[in-house]
Structure 1
Amino acid sequence: MPIDAAKALAAPPRRAGIRWGHKDVQLYHLGIGAGANPDKADPATDPDELRYTLESRLHVLPSFATVAGAGMGMMSGLSAPGIDVDLAAVLHGGQSLALHRPIPASGEATAASRVAAVYDKGKAAVLVLRSDVTDDQGPLWTSEAQLFVRGEGGFGGERGPSGRLDAPDRPCDRTVERPVRPDQALLYRLSGDWNPLHADPEFAKLAGFDRPILHGLCTYGITLKAVVDTVLGGDVTRVRAYRTRFAGIALPGETLRVGLWETPGRVQVAVTAPERDDAPVLADTVVEHA
């Protein structure tokens, strides 16, 4: 069987050095729409946007962790012992991130990546790939990617938790809209995700889409920035944890509608595409904050 769950779970973490600088952070921020905030009269020079784009004022949005070191933690997990799957059968189902302290604008760290869980969903297997990142001062962040592997279920393993959240029984406390630039995917992919699904129309058609789609992790970053900017006063250091489920696709050139429900220390989020009858894009999404 392509997935040997026992072997994958027993394998020791794979360790790799990663490094990043202010250019990597600035490129990531531009890739998720920094400097183009529609709530600002002149976003390119607005002080609230310059914290994402100007090296002398740079603050790091925590979702940068998903691309630091070109996102090698996920790829390392897919090549772990016991894992031999067709990448065409892999779907990114969800992403979670826990921050241990603010991410510096430049740094060097070690990422220890492993398969944390393998679940049996019947027609698919779910791999939970965990990456613990530390530098010389201690833990920085822990991230987990939940990957569906179609056709690899039915091996008799545990189904695992559902992770579904009940919808709040009240209207959103806030709703913001974020436009997606027509070239957003082309810019975002420069941070390390070179999947042609997000750039090549012919490849996208082979995958069943009319045209290239936006990276799920780009939507993930756009959404966190919207929460930080509208709920947390632009203070990236207040974010403690962030998780989501990828419920649908977003397309370059359309709009993301971000609905926010606020409770102390927690924001629940739903993201939809209004041009497609509010089709779901992100669901079961929560930002925990100080």
Structure 2
Amino acid sequence: MPIDAAKALAAPPRTGSISWSHKDVQLYHLGIGAGLPATDPGELRYTLESGLRVLPSFATVAGAGSPGVIGGLSMPGVDVDLARVLHGGQSITLYRPLPAECAAAVTTRRIAAVHDKGEAAVLVMRTDVADADGPLWTDEARIHVRGEGGRGGDRGPSVRREAPAGPPDRAVERPVREDQALLYRLSGDWNPLHADPGFARLAGFERPILHGLCTYGMTLKAVVDTLLGGDVTRVRGYTARFAGVVYPGETLRIRMWHGGGGDRDSGGGEGDDGDSVGGGGEVRVIVSVVERGDAPALAGTVVTRS
């Protein structure tokens, strides 16, 4: 059954309640590669409950919960084959630092747009989250459904941005463990594309692929650790387009350009946490896969910082 755009857009928002504990935060951080080396103070802020800091990308799995992709596929007017679905991009706007524990937060979810890209339809799934103290974050997931375009609908705005000019200010490499997808899916994304070889082949991949949101989280952690002095509270927003697949066992090359609102603090060095960027502005990022000749993984990636 094709997507009924009018029905999807007219459907009333769905509300729900989510909660999380420090264990959920720690599991998420481990799922995106935190904790190596295990006794490194820079890693302990992600893995030790005393003084635990929450990476803002945790919002994408908080409460096991706000799975924008799976949630979007259960909305009125949307009846599609899961094997045709890809997560095309993700953005988060933060209103304040995320707490390590939350007894109750309210989610409000709706289809904000349906775009016809010709070869695919793109659903924009918006989720607003608030607790007793007010708004926490807004996230938007862009869900590509292959074979559902070409019906003459609105193409929507382009989300592509030109690549940054010149050499990056910093570049780091982050290995993806063979079991990374199996660990990451415990945070709530149970799509068999990331675990079942047969399902992955049915979807057109040689083997299970890494969750795009896992690459998304690994990238934000690299930016925070490398350019923001490990201070998660400096992240105000984060957006990325999933430009290609990553397979467990590969290596991410994360290149960063900082600009707008501040220069590097004096001092520091080549290691993580040693090159903090002062002031507000943006960090532009490109992520590629080392083993496949810098095949693209994330593009149009921007971290808005304070």
Q: What TM-score range do you get, normalising by the shorter chain?
A: over 0.9
Cα distance change on mapping 1:93 and 1:275 into 2, 3 Å: same
Verify: 1:109 aligned to 2:108, yes or no: no
Structure 2 portions without partners, runs of 5+: 261-280
Counterpart secondary structure, 2:207: coil
Counterpart secondary structure, 1:52: helix
Aligned to 1:279: 295
Please tell me the root mean square deviation across aligned C-alpha atoms, in Å.
Answer: 1.2
Looking at structure 2, the residues matched to 238 and 100 of structure 1 have their Cα atoms a distance apart, in angstroms, of 11
After the TM superposition, which of the residue ranges 166-175 and 235-244 deviates more from structure 2?
A: 166-175
Structure 1 residues 241-280: aligned runs within 5 Å: 241-264=237-260, 265-280=281-296
How far did residue 206 of structure 1 move? Answer: 2.6
Structure 1 residues 46-195: aligned runs within 5 Å: 46-74=40-68, 75-107=70-102, 108-195=104-191
After the TM superposition, which of the residue ranges 181-190 and 73-82 deviates more from structure 2?
A: 73-82
Counterpart secondary structure, 2:183: helix
Looking at structure 2, the residues matched to 54 and 25 of structure 1 have their Cα atoms a distance apart, in angstroms, of 10
Counterpart secondary structure, 2:54: coil
Aligned to 1:33: 33
How far did residue 94 of structure 1 move? Answer: 0.5
TM-score by length of 1: 0.95
Deviation sequence 1:171-205 (CA, Å, 0-9, x none)? 11110001111111111111111122222223322
Cα distance change on mapping 1:211 and 1:3 into 2, 3 Å: closer
Looking at structure 2, the residues matched to 115 and 249 of structure 1 have their Cα atoms a distance apart, in angstroms, of 25
Looking at structure 1, the residues matched to 232 and 98 of structure 2 have their Cα atoms a distance apart, in angstroms, of 9
How far did residue 73 of structure 1 move? Answer: 4.6
Kindly report structure 1 stretches of 4+ aligned residues shifted beyond 6 Å: none
Looking at structure 1, the residues matched to 134 and 227 of structure 2 have their Cα atoms a distance apart, in angstroms, of 29
Structure 1 portions without partners, runs of 5+: 37-42
After the TM superposition, which of the residue ranges 44-53 and 65-74 deviates more from structure 2?
A: 65-74
How far did residue 71 of structure 1 move? Answer: 3.2
TM-score by length of 2: 0.90
Looking at structure 1, the residues matched to 150 and 212 of structure 2 have their Cα atoms a distance apart, in angstroms, of 27
Counterpart secondary structure, 2:108: strand
